[in-house]
Amino acid sequence: MLPREDNELICRVGPGTPMGDTMRRYWVPALLSSEIGQPDCPPVRVRLLGEDLVAFRDTKGRIGLLDEYCPHRRVSLYFGRNEECGLRCIYHGWKFDVDGSCLDQLNEPQELQFKHKVHITAYPTAELGGIVWAYLGPPEKMPAPPKFAWTQVDPSRRHVTKVIQECNYLQGLEGGIDTSHAPILHRLLTDNSTRGGMKPSSPFVRGKAPHLVVDLTDYGYQYAGIRPLGADESEVHIRTYHYILPFHQIRPSKSETGQPMDAGHIWVPIDDYNTMVYNWIYTTVDSPLTEEDRLERGLGNGPLHVDPKTFRSYGNRGNNYLLDREVQRTESYSGIDGINMQDRALQESMGAICDRSREYLGPGDKAIIQARKLLIKAVKTVQAGGSPAGTGTSYYKLLAHEEVLPKEADWRAEMTPEMTDGIILETV
């Protein structure tokens, strides 16, 4: 269980809240680059950490992320004209550049304009990996840019989507770092099923319940699920993940053609009760993704499952996530199509903000327990004037891994050589 006061502490993310102030110390995904793909394209509404913002790409290709509401009469700049290196409010013609400076006031005589006194809130941005990232914190505390390994490869090797989840970010995050649920919720009942999920013959599914090993690091932690295989348990299936504060996950995956990939999610708070989940995949070998990979059929994030204009899932609470009881009886454990659709269904079923004071956790929840501790520690570090974990650069080259090894093997040395050069701080 988590005391109610701690649950409130790490779930509430609006301006001025302790967790909100902490999250503003990180680079936060604001929108997909493709949403403002061309100079002078229409602006886009963005709600981030409880703030209403508007994003635009100006004539020179620079990105602005401004307070949505014009400081003159507080109308929405979403209706504005994106023209000549600025966003102009259509109510009275006030115009702002990407830095928030007022460039013009059409409703005032030229000699009486006071534009030099007007400034609208504007946040710094960085464009990496097909995402526009924003920094909403104190300028002097800005961390290094978010150069995850997947953001650095050629666009042909990566793919990013996003989907709205109607619950607090922590429910999504905790689901993503919970390895024990995956071969249960996401399993298929037969190997010949064509639905998205994990085949019963795979070692991930046929292995026994996992023993969890969590290695604390300066970015969060690496954790491994170690599953004994076979009657004699002479082999183990090992799957490693990374949790990077405050809301990133990296996990191993494979493409539709079997080539190795890494994948992951970023659970970005829209506000206390809604989350924008960014889903990314990339090939860890120098080979492009296929169009089938980009459809994300099995994952449930692509255009077959999510409206590409609204980013809302076709399966939702109103239609019981398209649950098919016959499919549940004969093909898949859940009866819901799409791995991440299954996750959204169960995580949203907990309510807008889960009451963690009523939980009953066990050893299989070690990674979740540690994540909560790290989030609370990050809040306290920021309150004390320090820099929270995960604002350095040690996560830049991280990879996740999956192997079947002899039980006595040194899995860290064989699977995670990048973790043997001083990144691990403590094993819990």
Measured in degrees and rounded to the nearest 5, phi and psi for residue 391 equal -100, 5
CB atoms within 10 A of CB 185: 20
Domains defined along the chain, listed by start: 29-141 (2.102.10.10), 149-427 (3.90.380.10)
| Residue 405 host element (H or E) | strand 402-406
Residue 374 identity: L
pLDDT for the residue numbered 420: 67
CA atoms within 13 A on the CB side of 83: 10
pLDDT for the residue numbered 256: 80
Q: Are 222 and 200 in contact (CB under 8 A)?
A: no
Helices 4-11 + 366-383 axis angle, to 10: 70
Mean pLDDT by 10 residues, the chain (428 residues): 95 98 98 98 98 98 98 97 98 98 95 96 98 98 98 97 98 96 96 91 93 96 95 95 98 89 97 98 95 93 95 97 97 96 97 96 96 98 98 95 95 85 85
Q: 115 CB contacts (<8 Å, ≥6 apart)?
A: 94, 101, 102, 103, 104, 105
Where on the phi/psi map is residue 228: left (φ > 0), alpha (ψ -120 to 50), or beta?
A: beta
Beta strand segments in 169-232, E: 211-217, 220-229
pLDDT for the residue numbered 419: 80
Residue with tokens 């799957």: 239
Q: What is the DSSP letter of 361?
A: -
The span from the first CA to the last CA of the chain, in angstroms, equals 19
pLDDT for the residue numbered 11: 98
Residue with tokens 């013959």: 201
Residue 361 identity: L
Measured in degrees and rounded to the nearest 5, phi and psi for residue 371 equal -60, -40
CB atoms within 10 A of CB 116: 8
pLDDT for the residue numbered 421: 67
Q: 120 CB contacts (<8 Å, ≥6 apart)?
A: 66, 67, 70, 71, 96, 100, 102
pLDDT for the residue numbered 234: 95
Please work out, in degrees rounded to the nearest 5, the angle formed at the alpha carbon of residue 81 by the alpha carbons of 80 and 87.
80
